[in-house]
Amino acid sequence: MKLKANIATSENGFIFNPATGDSFTSNAIAAEILGYMKSGGSEEEIKKKILENYDVEPNQFERDWDDYMLQLKEANLLDL
Amino acid sequence: MYVSPDLNKTESLTIAVTGLNANDNPGPGLAVIRALRAGFGENIRIIGLAYETLEPAIYLRDQVDKTYRIPYPTAGAGALKARIKEIQEIEKIDVLIPNFDAELYNFIKIAPDLLQMGIHSFLPSHQQLEQRDKVNLAKFGEKHGFNVPDEGVVFTASEIDNIASKFGFPLMVKGKFYEAHTTLNSADAHRAFHKLHAKWGLPVILQKFIKGTEINIAGLGDGKGNAISVIPMRKLYITEKGKAWAGITIEDEKLITLAKDFAKATIWKGGFELEIMREDNGSLYIMEVNPRFPAWVYLTVAAGQNQPKALVDLALGRPTDDMNTYKAGKMFIRYAWDNIVDVEEFQKLSAFGEL
């Protein structure tokens, strides 16, 4: 899962797709994940970091992760 | 006698601009003026050319130094030429930028006379104007390989149902010069036809509805086949009249290429606006080609390419600024503002034709 190269993100979770003009807001954890994705982190690396830093059940996180990736895909933000 | 000023020595420029109707269906004049002021700074005098006394920009005295009324396009090119000559005797206009579709025919016709008076312009030819006309858009698309929606040109209401049965509903019904209605059934389409006929004359254009994202592109053609500036904008807020009230610059190589292909195919000279519909599958349709700058053209300045200034430079044979990059994500959000004016000002313009 890789963000499209031209997608702009900010620390506060704002996402802007310059190719379409679409913009989105995301919560703090989603913004953190986006930040890792932007800096080229692999899916495994990002998941590991989140699980290390937050008190979350792996199964729950997997479900949330899939849900979030689906949202990013639908928003046309992923480089598929 | 050719009375062009020695432009190397001329310190300040006088530029005449039409399209001062900064209302809910805005003309581009005010945005063009703002761009020119941003580009040329203090060294500029703006002459407004107005058709009606209530065109809002007339009364923005920090933007428009002096305004003259000019005859409606229906009065013909002769009347326009005579009026501009009168104005030129007072103002010494260097460049004139017309901003209405409906007036362009006459301005193009008198362009050589204007030059004789010392007034430069940078306009498409009558042929270029004609080929991108709404009435000819389908033919234009076919000839140059652009995607355009299927359309039918109608002169009587009785032709509507036949075309509607081919295109289906929703169906776009468009005026000859301005205005478009999305109609949902035959009664709607007939109503729109009569309204547009009464307002803008015949023919009326029926266009197949294309679903997608509305994107507009502001461009400037150098008359040699190049688009020296192209700025795409996605509409973010659209008024009931279909006008962008807010928008954002976007970067998409396909849009830039389309605008460049348009300039190349038409050898376009002057400002232009492509109204594009991008379908979900990415296909780009040219819905309309406007032969002048759009009312949102100041956004091109904000994004880093001052198209109106470049047009003036081209008109005067000067080199233009480098316009290879622009900033995506620049937004415009239009607003309404009540300008307070004394009746004496209104009266002056009404009685004497100038303010």
Closest CA to B285 of B113, B102, B192, B151: B151
**Is residue A33 in a domain?**
yes
**Whether the predicted pLDDT of B154 surpasses 50:** yes
Domain count, chain B: 3
Closest CA to B257 of B276, B237, B279: B276
C-alpha neighbours within 13 Å on the C-beta side of residue B8: 0
Residue of A nearest to B213 (CA): A20
* Interchain proximity B251–A8, CB inside 8 Å: no
- Residue B2's pLDDT is 43
Complex ipTM: 0.79
DSSP-derived pairing of the beta strands B13-17 and B44-50: parallel
**Average pLDDT of span B146-158:** 93
User: Using CA atoms, how far apart are residues B254 and B231, in angstroms rounded to an integer?
Assistant: 12
Question: Do B171 and B200 reside in the same domain of the chain?
Answer: yes
Give the gap in angstroms from C-alpha B259 to the nearest C-alpha of chain A: 16
**Average pLDDT of span B216-220:** 97
Q: Each residue of B256-284: pLDDT tens digit?
A: 999 999 999 999 999 999 999 999 888 99
User: Using CA atoms, how far apart are residues B300 and B296, in angstroms rounded to an integer?
Assistant: 8
**Is residue B5 in a domain?**
no
What residues make up the domain containing A67? 8-74
* Interchain proximity A21–B236, CB inside 8 Å: yes
User: Using CA atoms, how far apart are residues A25 and B337, in angstroms rounded to an integer?
Assistant: 31
Question: Considering chain B, what is the average pLDDT of its residues?
Answer: 93
Q: Each residue of B332-348: pLDDT tens digit?
A: 999 999 999 999 999 99
Question: Do B235 and B310 reside in the same domain of the chain?
Answer: yes
Q: Each residue of B19-59: pLDDT tens digit?
A: 999 888 899 999 999 999 999 998 999 999 999 999 999 99
**Is residue A36 in a domain?**
yes
Model confidence at B1, in pLDDT bands (50, 70, 90)?
A: very low
**Is residue A79 in a domain?**
no
**Is residue B67 in a domain?**
yes
**Is residue A3 in a domain?**
no
Question: Do B184 and B249 reside in the same domain of the chain?
Answer: no
- Residue B6's pLDDT is 47
**Is residue A2 in a domain?**
no
CATH number at residue B47: 3.40.50.20
User: Using CA atoms, how far apart are residues B254 and B103, in angstroms rounded to an integer?
Assistant: 32
CA B177, distance to chain mean position in Å, is: 11
Is residue A58 less than 8 Å (CB to CB) from chain B? Answer: no
Handedness of CA A70, A74, A76, A80 (dihedral sign): positive
**Is residue B277 in a domain?**
yes
User: Using CA atoms, how far apart are residues B69 and B105, in angstroms rounded to an integer?
Assistant: 18
Q: Look-up: residue for tokens 């901003």?
A: B99
Question: Do B308 and B274 reside in the same domain of the chain?
Answer: yes
Question: Do B203 and B219 reside in the same domain of the chain?
Answer: no
* Interchain proximity B251–A20, CB inside 8 Å: no
For an interface test with A, give the residue of B213, B248, B280, B332 to mutate (most A CBs within 10 A): B248
Contact indicator for A71, A12 with CB cutoff of 8 Å: no
**Is residue B137 in a domain?**
no
- Residue B140's pLDDT is 92
Question: Do B20 and B69 reside in the same domain of the chain?
Answer: yes
Least confident range from B62-71, B85-94, B200-209: namely B200-209
Q: Each residue of B282-297: pLDDT tens digit?
A: 899 999 999 999 999 9
Contact indicator for B107, B121 with CB cutoff of 8 Å: yes
What residues make up the domain containing B254? 211-333
**Is residue A21 in a domain?**
yes
Question: Do B187 and B228 reside in the same domain of the chain?
Answer: no
- Residue B219's pLDDT is 97
| Residue at a domain's end among B208, B236, B255 | B208
CATH number at residue B185: 3.30.1490.20
Contact indicator for B15, B95 with CB cutoff of 8 Å: yes
**Is residue A53 in a domain?**
yes
Question: What stretches in chain A show pLDDT beneath 50?
Answer: none
**Is residue B131 in a domain?**
no
User: Using CA atoms, how far apart are residues B102 and B133, in angstroms rounded to an integer?
Assistant: 11
Label residues A13-46 b or e (16+ Cβ within 10 Å = b).
bebbbbbbbbbbebeebbbbbbebbeeebeeeeb
What amino acid occupies position B219? G
Domain count, chain A: 1
Question: Do B39 and B52 reside in the same domain of the chain?
Answer: yes
Q: Each residue of B3-20: pLDDT tens digit?
A: 444 444 446 999 999 999
Model confidence at B147, in pLDDT bands (50, 70, 90)?
A: very high
User: Using CA atoms, how far apart are residues B182 and B172, in angstroms rounded to an integer?
Assistant: 5
* Interchain proximity A8–B329, CB inside 8 Å: yes
Question: Do B282 and B305 reside in the same domain of the chain?
Answer: yes
- Residue B11's pLDDT is 64
Contact indicator for B291, B101 with CB cutoff of 8 Å: yes
